Amino acid sequence: MADIDRIRNVARHVQREVNAGHEVAVVVSAMSGTTNQLVAWARDAAPLHDAREYDAVVATGEQITAGLLAIVLEDMGVNARSWQGWQLPILTSNAHGSARIDDVNGEELVKRFRELGQVAVIAGFQGMHKETGRITTLGRGGSDTSAVAIAAAIHADRCDIYTDVDGVYTTDPRVVPRARRLEKIAYEEMLEMASLGAKVMQVRSIELGMVHNVRIFVRSSFDRPEDIDPHQNQPPGTLICDESEIMEHPVVSGIAFSRDEAQISVRLVPDKPGVAAAIFGPLADANINVDMIVQNVSPDGATTDLTFTVPAADYARANAVLVKSKDKIGYDHLDGSREVAKISVIGIGMRSHAGVAAQAFKALAERQINIRAITTSEIKFSVLIDTAYTELAVRALHSLYGLDK
């Protein structure tokens, strides 16, 4: 929501659904740019601030839009009231800045739908820690997660996410103009897509949707409310749902990529029990997430190399941790690169098809793209390559698996 006009636009979407006879709960995010501004203020006030006060500051963006939307709705003759996270309440863990939702009380909302026909306008992104009573926030993009949690609590038929794209695409259309919008995508696939770089929704919101079986419809906030007939034409968008709701499964559904990775190679480590623990233990203690891991079997039975990836933002810290444990690990030296990208191919159909990854390795080799590391799981595989080849690789794989229009 950029300004009051956009809020009016949202209100007309709400009004349309109410007039169609639906009971509606709306979860709002802050006006665009607001949360960034609030975060900047908190940092400016003191770089090392109390996370509880950070939450008290950044949660206010949603408080504003919730109140404004309720005002606009009332002005349009729609019965509505705003709710802050603590008022429902939405109870969370006390991990300030990235709290997890523990419980949402939707009873009062349902009662008010039934008795008053009242629309609930709920501030997303925020909640409250039960024991301390303090305001928490759910991490950037957290209003998606608020929306899915509330949808689960009130047993909604569907959770519509109005966002700045009109659905989930086979890959980023800015990289592959021929990317297609998916009509449906299974939770598992979407979870992989979101975790592996597609930035459509907060990852936790998909996890939550999957656990509670909330059907999530990703649609554009730029749709004109008047153009949509709530009973008939389904607007463009992507339904994230259980795989049983999807009739035809292509082998590959989408390709995600991320340039936010860095590679670290620990050279000439002793090839003996306990070395992996000596390397990854301290990294875990430093809260650094290790993703892809490749270890060679040593040719001489004495030393080997161990390569892995960490978030690019943690690259310097990870190196420092390893330097500190150099004697304990007993390696010769460290190598690394921030100029790497992870390309991931995702599809539930991979469960029943062999050789899907092999095709990709061949296609990349034909383009002289070197693979630095590989990981696979049941419904996806990822390759680590030089950043410079990101676009080329994504385009090649997109056509290889028949995803081009």
Binding residues for ligand ASP, rule: CB under 6 A, are 29-30, 35, 61, 124-125, 140-144
- 85: partner contacted, choices ligand ASP, Mg ion, none (Cβ within 5-8 A by kind): none
- Complex with ligand ASP: residue 85 or 141, whichever CB lies closer: 141
Question: Shortest CA distance to 102 belongs to which of 94, 110, 93?
Answer: 93
Rounded to the nearest whole angstrom, what is the least distance from the CB of residue 141 to ligand ASP in the complex? 4
Is beta strand 293-295 parallel, antiparallel or unpaired with respect to 303-311? antiparallel
Tokens 């030296």, located at residue? 333
The smaller minimum CB distance to ligand ASP, of residues 144 and 271, is found at: 144
Of the pair 104, 269, the CB lying nearest ligand ASP is at: 104
Q: How far apart are CB 29 and Mg ion at their closest, in Å?
A: 5
Binding mask 131-150 for Mg ion (x = CB under 5 A): ----------x---------
141 or 336, CB closer to ligand ASP? 141
For ligand ASP, the closer of residues 142 and 254 by Cβ is 142
Residues facing residue 334 across a β-bridge: 266
Which partner in ligand ASP, Mg ion, none is near 369 (CB below 5 to 8 A by kind)?
A: none
Provide, rounded to whole angstroms, the least separation between the CB of residue 143 and Mg ion: 6
In the complex, least distance from residue 59 CB atom to ligand ASP, rounded to whole angstroms: 9
Phi–psi pair at 282, nearest 5 degrees: -60, -35
161 forms beta bridges with: 218
Q: Which of 338, 323, 322, 346 is nearest to 372 (CA)?
A: 338
List, in order, residues 6 or more apart from 404 with CB less than 8 Å away.
176, 178, 180, 398
Main-chain dihedrals φ then ψ at residue 376, nearest 5 degrees: -140, 155
Strand partners, 380: 346, 377
- Alpha carbons 255 and 172: distance in angstroms, whole number: 8
User: In the bound complex, which residue of the shown chain has the CB atom lying closest to Mg ion?
Assistant: 141
Q: At its nearest, how many Å lie between ligand ASP and the CB of residue 207?
A: 16
Closer residue to ligand ASP in complex, CB, 18/58 = 58
Name the binder of 209 from ligand ASP, Mg ion, none, CB < 5-8 A by kind: none
d(CA 255, CA 320): 33
Residue 18 binds which of Mg ion, ligand ASP, none (CB < 5-8 A, kind-dependent):
none
Cis peptide before 225 (omega within 30 of 0): no
Q: Which residues bind Mg ion (CB under 5 A)?
A: 141
